[in-house]
A and B are shown apart, each in its own frame.
Chain A
Amino acid sequence: MLRRFRLEEPGSVSEATELLGRFGESAKVYAGGTELLLAMKEGLVQYERLVNIKKLRLNEVARDNGAIRIGALCTHHQLEQSALLQQTLPALVKLENNVANVRVRQAGTLGGNLCFAEPHADPGTLLMALDAKMIAEKGGSKRAIAAQDFLVDAYETSLGADELLTAIEVPVPAPRSGIAYLKFGYLERPSVGVAVAITVNGGTVSQARVAVGCAGPAPKRVAEAEALLQGKSTDEATRNLARAGEIAGKASQAISDLHGSQDYKEHIVGVLLKRAFQAALAQC
């Protein structure tokens, strides 16, 4: 049963952040509502006010100075359908195509997904491997937060209580880049997700980014695994995959739960890392 709350309807980002600052913990941003309203109906959270930001027109996908700027209010469905994303970031389109179910994809927003920071969510992991930046606004000021600094813990982000996530900026991948996100699970949400983004020049992996998610409290970039791939020939990087997988497994901070034991999840990270690297390499 949903308890009574007051719906605030700000007309601008500044108005929204002013409301968030004024009402503090008694107010919460309302976008798609796919996670928030469920938690409220269950009585797990209670807010006196919801700040409805649906009318703020933060739902465009556009190219902007070498990056793709995704409005925080873009729904998963909108991202699945975006011609620009299909052309520039097909891995993100594929991910969005497999987020939750069709009802969630129609209403749920990318920004909401990131801000709720549910540990088993997919997008954060891939966005880390894509070196994405989260654009946070408050009043007239704006700051960019790297994806790996944004998602800090289970259900926790580095977004200030009076800041609003307005956009996600993803650099357009360099030529000869390959990107893959793979996940595995047997429940409603994935047990493990692994993202690999590489660029290959002259048979050498000139850049490698690896991120793991879902297994632990929050997605993580794995610099030590990246170091085993980056600057190496594709053959050497391929030989290093088993070690990189072990390292990424440990880095995932896997937790034993209904989705699988810690050992099992760590093993799956290794398997997915290998497959994701091979899938990414095939695109280069």
Chain B
Amino acid sequence: MQFEKSVDIHASKEKVWSFIWDVDRFIACVPGCKEAKTVEAGKRYAATMVEKVGPFKVEFPTTIEVLEREELSRIKAQASGADNKIGSRMKIDLDVRLQGDTDKTTLSFTAGVDILGKLAALGHGIIKRKADQVLDEFAQAVKKQLEGDS
């Protein structure tokens, strides 16, 4: 499943960039993400993703690995995790880009999301819709956090 999102933020690129690397604040913007910690600063992080669709709840202990980093402009990362109780795995390939000037930054990202295992029994459409909602909420939460600062 491929997703593309973009959000305009009234803040400088520097501010957005430093926000992305502030793990505690950044993770607070990811719906269902908890217990985030830095394994190796700038390279590897760990968190637990909890999502719910009706009575179905998944909990993915997740590793986030930063694959590429171009200062102030781009981050490529991969998040992967497994819920062994339900027997499902998740992998997200994330490509984040920053464009803008001193007043405004466009934060855009593409996310390739793969969900494998029993969770797929819920149906591709339902999972896709849920992932889309999560990414929308994330983009809006980042905007709110950063614009709330100014």
Chain A residues with a Cβ under 8 A of chain B: 28, 39, 42-46, 117, 119, 153-156, 217, 255-259
Contact = CB atoms under 8 A, between A and B. Distances in A.
Contacts of A257: 123-125, 128
Contacts of A156: 53-54
Interface string B113-136: 000001101111110110000000
A154 B126 contact: yes
A155 B85 contact: no
Given A44-B86, A44-B118, A255 B54 contact: no
A102 to B, nearest CB: 23
B3 to A, nearest CB: 13
A156 B123 CA distance: 15
Given A154-B126, A154-B129, A44 B121 contact: yes
A255 B87 contact: no
B124 to A, nearest CB: 5
A45 B125 contact: no
Most chain A beta carbons < 10 A, residue from B86, B87, B125, B126: B125
Given A153-B54, A154-B53, A43 B85 contact: yes
B52 to A, nearest CB: 10
Contacts, number: 53
Contact of A256 (B56, B86, B118, B125): B125
Contacts of B54: 117, 153-156
Given A154-B53, A154-B54, A255-B128, 9 more contacts: A28-B55, A42-B118, A42-B121, A45-B55, A46-B85, A154-B122, A154-B129, A217-B129, A255-B129
Given A43-B118, A45-B56, A255 B86 contact: no
Contacts of A28: 55
The 7 lowest CB-CB distance pairs between A and B, nearest first, are A155-B54, A255-B125, A257-B125, A257-B124, A156-B54, A154-B126, A45-B55
A30 to B, nearest CB: 13
A42 B53 CA distance: 16
Interface of B: 53-57, 85-87, 118-119, 121-126, 128-129
B26 to A, nearest CB: 28
Nearest to A38: B121
Nearest to A156: B54
B126 A255 contact: yes
Contacts of A43: 85-87, 118
Contacts of B122: 44, 154-155
Given A45-B55, A154-B53, A217 B85 contact: no
B129 to A, nearest CB: 6
A217 B128 CA distance: 11
A269 to B, nearest CB: 15
B53 to A, nearest CB: 6
Contact of B124 (A42, A45, A217, A258): A258
Nearest to A152: B54
A66 to B, nearest CB: 34
22 contacts: A28-B55, A39-B55, A42-B118, A42-B121, A43-B85, A43-B86, A44-B86, A117-B54, A119-B123, A154-B122, A154-B126, A154-B129, A155-B55, A155-B56, A155-B122, A156-B54, A217-B126, A255-B126, A255-B128, A257-B123, A257-B124, A258-B123
Contacts of B57: 45
B78 to A, nearest CB: 25
